[in-house]
Amino acid sequence: MPAGICGTWDIISNVNFEGYMIALGISPYLRKIALKLKLKKVIEQHGDLYVVKTVSAFRNYTISFRVGQEFEEFTQGLDNRHVKSLVTWEGNKLICEQIGEKRNRGWAHWVEDDKLHLELYCEGEICKQVFKKNVAE
Ligand code: VL7
Architecture of domain 7-132: Beta Barrel (2.40)
Task: Calculate the alpha carbon distances from 33 to 42, 68, 74, 78, 113 in Å.
Answer: 21, 34, 21, 12, 30
Q: Is the CB of 63 under 6 A from ligand 1?
A: yes
pLDDT attached to residue 136: 81
pTM for the model stands at 0.96
pLDDT in tens, 36-92: 999 999 999 999 999 999 999 999 999 999 999 999 999 999 999 999 999 999 999
The domains of the chain are located at 7-132
Whole-angstrom Cα distance, residue 75 to residue 41? Answer: 16
Closest ligand 1 atom, residue 62 Cα? 16
CA of 54 to the centre of ligand 1 (A): 7
- Whats the size of the chain, residue-wise? 137
Task: Note whether 51 and 44 are within 8 A (CB).
Answer: yes
Q: Is the CB of 43 under 6 A from ligand 1?
A: no
pLDDT attached to residue 135: 87
Average pLDDT over residues 20-30: 98
Whose alpha carbon is nearest atom 21 of ligand 1? 78
